[in-house]
């Protein structure tokens, strides 16, 4: 068998770096890669390393084989199993906090022969069967064409079935010597060849909610690793989760991620201070808000928690309408009370609005604001559903417009159009300041977009920017609970 000379080994490592982008400095796995190539040269009956280089430059199939030789393929079913448990918990949590259909997009970024991808698909398939509102799509990539072909085929030795929990065996066809992935699952997965060092924006037609990039970054140098992590920001949705291998990490201080647990990093979506001023005179002269009203749907619970966290006092009463299953109304209200530091008030009956207080619908009823003798009250009502919801953001916002209270209205992330018309009526009073979350920071840019399209919004910005703006108005001058 041919043994590569030191200079030939150096040439080989430079080629590997150029093809894969991985770092070949030091001795990590280098002897394994060189041995793989040496065996291949002998197997082809070639006489020299030079002849082999000619072969891989002229023969595409041999080049693909070469890529397989010089990339490390260590993969098995449900590797680092806690990650799958974390994904399951996170997906179910987001389903329960959302209304309507929920779809998440996943990317297995170094899928090898597919065991990681299909392990993930089994977990997601189980969730989709228990939660009909949920669906998923998986992108799966690798730099090695031969591994991708095996992954796309979805056929594995029968011995590997023992490493898959019995609960997932219903997702495969079992044959004598092998098992295969069922077609309905395979149809939800798109395989493609890719290197992590290239721009893959054109590959994804939706933002990615979860990226698996496990046990691959260890083969890159620090600079390249950071570039890959930063490039992921172009693909990720707000609050997406990046899953690395247990032995991998990176400097979160230089990137927009926070470590949660078990090498799972939450992406902190970049903040856009995109501000659209449609009526500068109102923005410049508005002050002394008497009431603050907030509306949200899909993605709202987490957004509202951040929006109201440690809210400054004294402050006007804050009324929130969040589209949420009635079973979770009370727990969500209690959570918002704890995060904001405001006092949660009962809305099951007509209630006087008080400073430093928080008001939410605790069940299947709308909230309306009424003015009586110079004081403002919030009252429940059982009018028909509006825009498919009760409580409805439109009902609340329209009542604010009728009361002519000097108010700030904010429409946050959500599906549909609830709140847009109500925000427009608030704006028409000339006594209210209206705001909407921008597309870049919204989980779903539905309700805010409808408001913007209607011309109902004075200011458009990220949730973080709008939260700070509202706080600035509150801290500048506190309004009295009297009609102005």
Catalytic residues: 297, 323, 418
Please, are residues 334 and 365 in contact by the beta-carbon 8 Å criterion?
Answer: no
The helix-helix angle for 6-20 and 60-69 (nearest 10°) equals 100
Helices marked H in 350-462 — which ranges?
393-403, 420-428, 447-454
Q: Cα–Cα distances in Å, from 12 out to 5, 42, 51, 58, 291?
A: 10, 16, 13, 17, 69
Dump the DSSP string for 304-366.
HHHHHTT--SS---EEEEE---GGGHHHHHHHHHHHH-PEEE--SS-EE--TTEEEE--SS-E
Catalogue the E-assigned strands of 182-250.
Answer: 189-193, 208-213, 236-244
Tell me the sheet residues that pair with 445: 414
Whole-number Å distance between alpha carbons of 484 and 479 = 9
Please, are residues 216 and 109 in contact by the beta-carbon 8 Å criterion?
Answer: yes
Whole-number Å distance between alpha carbons of 295 and 334 = 17
Whole-number Å distance between alpha carbons of 391 and 422 = 13
């Amino acid at each position: 068998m041919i043994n590569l000379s030191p200079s030939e080994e150096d040439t080989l490592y430079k080629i590997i770096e150029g093809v894969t982008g991985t770092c070949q400095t030091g001795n990590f796995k280098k002897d394994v890669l060189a041995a793989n190539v040496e065996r291949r040269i002998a197997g082809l009956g070639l006489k020299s390393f030079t002849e082999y280089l000619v072969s891989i430059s002229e023969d595409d199939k041999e080049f693909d084989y070469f890529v397989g030789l010089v990339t490390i393929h260590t993969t098995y079913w449900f590797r680092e199993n806690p990650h799958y448990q974390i994904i399951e918990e996170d997906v179910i949590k987001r389903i329960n906090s959302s209304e309507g259909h929920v779809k998440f997009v996943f990317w297995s970024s170094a899928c090898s022969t597919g065991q990681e991808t299909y392990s993930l698909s089994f977990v997601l398939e189980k969730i989709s069967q228990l939660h009909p509102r949920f669906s998923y799509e998986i992108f799966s990539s690798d730099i090695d064409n031969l591994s991708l072909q095996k992954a796309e085929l979805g056929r594995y030795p029968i011995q590997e079935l023992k490493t898959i929990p019995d609960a997932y065996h219903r997702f495969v066809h079992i044959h004598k010597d092998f098992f295969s992935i069922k077609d309905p699952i395979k149809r939800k997965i798109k395989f493609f060849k890719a290197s992590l060092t290239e721009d893959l924006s054109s590959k994804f037609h939706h933002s990615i909610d979860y990226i698996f990039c496990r046990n691959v970054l260890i083969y890159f140098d620090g600079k390249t690793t950071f570039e890959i992590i930063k490039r992921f920001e172009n693909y990720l949705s707000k609050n997406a989760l990046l899953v690395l291998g247990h032995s991998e990490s990176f400097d979160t201080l230089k990137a927009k991620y926070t470590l949660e647990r078990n090498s799972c990093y939450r992406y902190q979506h970049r903040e856009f201070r995109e501000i659209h001023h449609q009526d500068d005179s109102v923005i410049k002269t508005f002050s002394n808000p008497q009431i603050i009203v907030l509306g949200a749907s899909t993605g709202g619970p987490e957004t509202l928690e951040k929006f109201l966290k440690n809210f400054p006092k004294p402050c006007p009463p804050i009324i929130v309408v969040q589209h949420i299953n009635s079973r979770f109304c009370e727990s969500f209200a209690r959570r918002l009370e704890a995060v904001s530091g405001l006092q949660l008030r009962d809305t099951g009956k007509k209630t006087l609005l008080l400073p430093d207080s928080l008001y939410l619908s605790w069940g299947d009823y709308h909230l309306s604001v009424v003015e009586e003798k110079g004081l403002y009250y919030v009252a429940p009502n059982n009018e028909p559903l509006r825009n498919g919801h009760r409580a409805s953001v439109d009902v609340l916002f329209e009542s604010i417009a009728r009361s002519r209270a000097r108010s700030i209205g904010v429409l946050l992330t959500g599906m549909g159009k609830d709140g847009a018309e109500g925000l427009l009526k608030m704006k028409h009073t000339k006594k209210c300041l209206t705001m909407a979350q921008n597309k870049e920071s919204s989980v779903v840019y539905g309700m805010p977009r409808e408001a913007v399209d209607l011309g109902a919004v004075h200011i458009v910005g990220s949730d973080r920017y709008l939260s700070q703006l509202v706080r600035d108005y509150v801290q500048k001058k506190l309004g009295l609970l009297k009609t102005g």
